[in-house]
């Protein structure tokens, strides 16, 4: 199955972003974009692609430990950006170093469970709002998000999500996301934002 580890903002936070996204959808060309469903919005920590069933027990044990070792931390949605003409995203501020640390631990957990992970790249935390196909310039969308500032929330769990690719062949159909595991973040000292 196709899995990724993630953190998800609470409803009160996605509600604010949904209001901003509704404004974005008024911009020219928005109909050419594939908008992610609000209930699937997340920050990917580690994308694991196809995970063999026999790797699951070790993976979940390691993710449990990764979560346990990481104290809860605070984030807030802030602004947005785009990856070329492919991905429009909302950004994040707050204890981003802690998010980065958790992403590194989720990636390490997957590697130690024997999964073939992509080469580590610079982790760029983002919440994908919409995907483009090259037809629409995403800059006006990112510009329109620049002033967006959401309420802070406490990240207190790591989730494992199964992504099922659409089989229907209907163009633009979105993958289905199903939470298959969730682990509370551990207690203990908070991670200073400067800790990297
Ligand atoms: P995203 O975070 O930019 O949206 C499920 O596909 C999730 O894993 C998505 O959130 C997706 O990107 C992320 N992801 C990271 N690397 C990926 C890859 N190589 N293929 C598909 N999805 C990937």
CA distance 4 to 162: 7
**3-state secondary structure (DSSP) of residue 15:** helix
| Ligand 1 atom nearest 128 alpha carbon | 4
Residue-wise pLDDT tens digits, 101-121 = 999 999 999 999 999 998 878
Strands (E), 53-175: 73-83, 87-94, 127-131, 153-155, 157-164
Q: If you take atom 19 of ligand 1, which residue's CA is the nearest one?
A: 47
H or E element, residue 13 = helix 11-24
Of residues 117, 4, 141, the one with CA closest to residue 63? 4
- Please determine, for residue 13, whether its predicted confidence score (pLDDT) is greater than 70: yes
Residue-wise pLDDT tens digits, 55-102 = 999 999 999 999 999 999 999 999 999 999 999 999 999 999 999 999
Domains of the chain: 2-184 (3.90.1140.10)
- Going from the Cα of 62 to the center of ligand 1, the distance in angstroms, rounded, reads 21
| Ligand 1 atom nearest 42 alpha carbon | 10
- Please determine, for residue 26, whether its predicted confidence score (pLDDT) is greater than 70: yes
The pLDDT, as a whole number, for residue 188 is 52
The pLDDT, as a whole number, for residue 167 is 78
Whole-prediction pTM: 0.92
**3-state secondary structure (DSSP) of residue 148:** coil
């Amino acid at each position: 199955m196709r899995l990724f580890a993630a953190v998800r903002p609470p409803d009160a936070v996605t509600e604010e972003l949904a209001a901003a996204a509704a404004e974005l959808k008024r911009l020219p060309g928005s109909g050419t974009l594939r908008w992610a469903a609000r209930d699937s919005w997340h920050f990917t920590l580690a994308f694991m692609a196809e995970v063999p069933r026999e790797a699951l027990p070790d993976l979940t044990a390691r993710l449990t430990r990764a979560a346990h070792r990481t104290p809860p931390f605070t984030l807030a949605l802030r602004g947005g950006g785009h990856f070329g003409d492919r991905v429009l995203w909302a950004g994040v501020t707050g204890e981003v170093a802690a998010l980065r640390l958790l992403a590194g631990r989720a990636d390490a957990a997957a590697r130690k469970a024997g999964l073939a992970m992509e080469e580590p790249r610079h982790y760029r935390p983002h919440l994908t709002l919409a995907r483009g196909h090259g037809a629409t310039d995403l800059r006006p969308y990112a510009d329109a998000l620049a002033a967006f500032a959401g309420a802070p929330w406490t990240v207190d769990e790591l989730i494992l999500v199964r992504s099922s690719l659409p089989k229907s062949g209907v163009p633009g159909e979105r993958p289905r996301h199903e939470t298959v595991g969730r682990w509370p973040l551990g207690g203990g000292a908070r991670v200073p934002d400067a800790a990297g």
